[in-house]
Amino acid sequence: MKARTRTLFFFQLFFMTALTLFPQDAEPSVSSTIAAQPQAFFNQRTLLAVNNPDYPVSPGDVYTLAYNREQGIVTQILIVEPNMTVDLSIFSVVQAESLTFVEFKRTVEERVRTAYPKSLPRVTMRATGVFEVFMKGEVNKTGYKLAWGLSRLSEIIEDNLTPYSSIRNVQVRSSDGMTKYYDLFRAFRFGERSQDPFVRPRDTIGVSKYDREIRVTGEVRRPGTYQILRGEQLKELINNYCDGFTVTADGSRIELYRYNPERKSEEIEYLDLTDGFEEEVVLSNGDSIFVPSNRELLPIIYFEGAIILDGADPQERFANYRKKHTIRDGETLYTALRSVELSAQADLSACYIRRKKEKIFIDLGDYLYNYDPSKDIVLQPLDCIIIPYIR
């Protein structure tokens, strides 16, 4: 009879726990999402929560309280209610709002230890709860999103942003009416965790449209598309967002592309920043900036004929390919040849350099395999090395 009573008691306890975790009046989307998660997923969440000292007590969390009494070990299931209270039975109720699990564990164990000295109380986590937050504004779909204790703001909004959503001033309104703004760019770029907080139950997240978005390409350390704040212009964009110019940047001919809605055309403006950002350049939404390389001003030569290019069809015979090569002052033919791959059908004995109105014939086979530095040829700008095919 006692065994039957004990079995019935544990069945009722399990049923009540299941009702608390998965209430019957919950939204269908939430309950279906929970049911779709494998058990290993919840076990992983529990392990993460236990090993994270910052894990906040959340609605639906299930803990186990165990302590020693004269009749043996007493075990009690603790469930965090939606109002963030936890009923400890004979040890009264604990308000767990704003407590981490570590703080909650310490509070409960101290309360039991005060009532029953030497009872060795211990609180362990059995499962983590889930809750909803509301998202609105410049998002793909306004509505509720499922979260848990370690869900950060960026995880909640990342899959629901539109091409015009701003990540610079995301609004979070908590259940007590307090509103805060977060800059997720600073969280991603500089690792400022305070700008990517944990979401809490009944939070309302508001996403607005960005003010200006500027694209930067070319010779900067961090090219990309950036949402800049009010008051920030070209100087802040290059120095703070793009981490400055590269060593090969040509600051004398920076290109600023801007759309003119009146003419319905894109206009280009050339900027000279060799003396720094002495004159402020006001940026508009949709502007595009290109920073050229000073390597583009270096002299070039050409290879033409029986060479192999990346992406070319290897089965195509006798294709007259052409490749550009940048040379340095005093560079010779021997070092320039390292930049090309010769075709197996190349006629090395019939090669020549076309230089303005003259031709300099050279046997590349003898030149390469019996190399004599004293007979090397210094290249000049716009030289064209012709490598014919064997006919």
Residues 225 and 277 in one domain: yes
Answer with the one of 270, 295, 320 that is the final residue of a domain: 295
Residues 240 and 279 in one domain: yes
Residues 67 and 80 in one domain: yes
Residues 107 and 156 in one domain: no
- For the sheet with 212-218, list strands across it: 224-228, 212-218, 288-291, 254-260, 265-271
Give domain status of residue 21, yes or no: no
Give domain status of residue 307, yes or no: yes
Answer with the one of 275, 295, 315 that is the final residue of a domain: 295
CA 310 – CA 342 distance, rounded (Å): 12
Give domain status of residue 190, yes or no: yes
The residues with which 236 forms a beta bridge, in sequence order, are: none
Residues 273 and 289 in one domain: yes
Residues 250 and 321 in one domain: no
Give domain status of residue 187, yes or no: yes
Q: Among 212, 209, 203, 204, which Cα is nearest to 234's?
A: 212
pTM to 2 decimal places: 0.68
- Residue ranges in the chain modelled with pLDDT below 70: 1-42, 311-318
Q: Please give the pLDDT value at position 312.
A: 64
Residues 201 and 253 in one domain: no
Q: What is the 3-state secondary structure (H, E, C) of 76-145?
A: EEEEECCCCEEECHHHCEEECCCCEHHHHHHHHHHHHHHHCCCCCCEEEEEECCEEEEEEEECECCCEEE
CA 299 – CA 359 distance, rounded (Å): 20
Q: Please give the pLDDT value at position 19.
A: 45
Give domain status of residue 379, yes or no: yes
Structure tokens at 294: 């000073």
Q: Please give the pLDDT value at position 132.
A: 93
CA 309 – CA 320 distance, rounded (Å): 11
Give domain status of residue 152, yes or no: yes
- For the sheet with 321-326, list strands across it: 321-326, 300-305, 384-387, 351-355, 358-362
Q: Please give the pLDDT value at position 280.
A: 82
- Whole domain around residue 192: which residue ranges? 131-207
Residues 217 and 258 in one domain: yes
Residues 194 and 223 in one domain: no
Q: Please give the pLDDT value at position 308.
A: 86
Give domain status of residue 139, yes or no: yes
| CATH number of the domain encompassing residue 281 | 3.10.560.10
Answer with the one of 295, 311, 343 that is the final residue of a domain: 295
Structure tokens at 136: 């609105």
| CATH number of the domain encompassing residue 118 | 3.30.1950
Q: Among 12, 34, 39, which Cα is nearest to 24's?
A: 34
Residues 264 and 309 in one domain: no
CA 248 – CA 283 distance, rounded (Å): 24
Residues 145 and 160 in one domain: yes
Residues 46 and 123 in one domain: yes
Q: Please give the pLDDT value at position 135.
A: 96
Q: Please give the pLDDT value at position 309.
A: 83
Q: Please give the pLDDT value at position 8.
A: 41
Q: How many domains does the chain have?
A: 4
CA 163 – CA 80 distance, rounded (Å): 39
Give domain status of residue 345, yes or no: yes
